[in-house]
Amino acid sequence: MSRVLAAPRRARVSRRELSNFAYGLLFALPGLIGLLTFVAYPVFASLYYSFTSYSIIGRYRWVGLGNYVNLLTLDDEFWNVLGNTTYFVALSVPLHLVVALLLALLLNSRVPGLSVYRTLFYLPSVVPAVATAMLWLWMYHPTNGILNSLLDVFGIVGPNWLGDRAWAKPALVLMSVWGGGGLMLILLAGLQDVPQELYDAAEVDGAGWWPRFWNVTIPFLSPHLFFGLVTGLIGGFQYFTQVYIMTSGGPARSTAVYSFYLWENAFQFLKMGYASAMAWILLMIVAACTALVFITASRRVYYGGR
């Protein structure tokens, strides 16, 4: 103790800093190693692989931009899966946001049995993807499924959902909305943080339901809606399990989505280099979409004065 006190002030500070640095690094080590080994290295390794032709067995052969050129100019299937994924994301993400917002608004009232409703709306989102896929496969069965049986009650002949090119993608979108309760909970928490005074003030000013919703509720929820948009986008591009289980990309490749084709190239056709090029294109797309959302949203998202 007396030694520390006797030491010059400057040396004491730097010693403290040194010890902080050592402990900081030590504690961060697990995360840091993981970041380098399982994220940073793979990102750059796949960039390298994307310039090679590699098939697990054999050697890496440098092909320059060959994989990218092939994907973008020769591979019709690439454009097909890109289109399918865009369709899926463009439909499911906004629908998901709207339904989650609607449910959150409904739950933010004083109706008896709220916690039961909340549980019920949230529960589907914890159902494992494989089980969801199995269950909806049977729900969508053209003759024995519950969906067409219900439609039958109203005298409507339901489509052959997953067997019909026109209906297979909407069927997957509908299913994904069922499992979207996580965002609802986030929005509900956001709604409860809106200061009541603002509503009261708006009411005093004679603002109706829509102005209050649009000018008070939405600005306060915008960070959460923004979060839902970004995670929805990223999640949409990773959509895989349901397609693998339910349709294997069919009928006529109408539900083959990006990650599914990437997986096929890598682990079915063993075209690792080619699949890596797809991985990098995916990374660019996700980065571009996220950046775009960030830029357009930054002026509209309200962070409560932070």
Partner 1 sequence: MYLSVRRSAAIVQRARHRAPGIRPVSVELCLAVFAATFSIPFFWLVTSSLKTYPQMIAYPIVWIPSPPILDHYVQTFQIVPFARYIGNTMIIALMTVVGAVFSNALTAYSLSRINWPLAKPLFALLLSTMMIPFPVLMIPQFLIFRNLGWLDTYLPLVVPAYFGYAFYTFLLRQFFLTIPVELSDAARMDGAGEFRIFWNVIAPLAKPALATIALFQFIGAWESFLPPLIYISSKDLYTVSLGLAMFRGEFTSEVGPMMAGSTVMIMPIVILFFLTQRTFIKGITLTGIKG
Closer Cβ to partner 1, 23 or 79, answer by number: 23
Closer Cβ to partner 1, 20 or 165, answer by number: 20
To the nearest whole angstrom, how small is the minimum distance from the Cβ of residue 19 to partner 1?
Answer: 9
Closer Cβ to partner 1, 81 or 91, answer by number: 81
To the nearest whole angstrom, how small is the minimum distance from the Cβ of residue 109 to partner 1?
Answer: 5
Cα 204 to Cα 196, 220, 296: the distances in Å are 12, 19, 33
Please choose, from the candidates 19, 187, 223, the residue with its C-alpha nearest in 3D space to the C-alpha of residue 97: 187
To the nearest whole angstrom, how small is the minimum distance from the Cβ of residue 73 to partner 1?
Answer: 22
To the nearest whole angstrom, how small is the minimum distance from the Cβ of residue 56 to partner 1?
Answer: 8
Look up residue 127 and give its DSSP letter: S
Closer Cβ to partner 1, 72 or 230, answer by number: 230
Q: Provide the token pair at 289.
A: 């979409």
To the nearest whole angstrom, how small is the minimum distance from the Cβ of residue 71 to partner 1?
Answer: 15
Q: Which long-range contacts (CB under 8 A, 24 or more apart) does 148-152 make?
A: none
> How far is Cα 18 from Cα 22, in angstroms, rounded to an integer?
6
**Residues in Cβ contact with 250 at an 8 Å cutoff, skipping those fewer than 6 apart:** 168, 256
Please choose, from the candidates 238, 222, 239, the residue with its C-alpha nearest in 3D space to the C-alpha of residue 298: 222
Closer Cβ to partner 1, 91 or 107, answer by number: 107
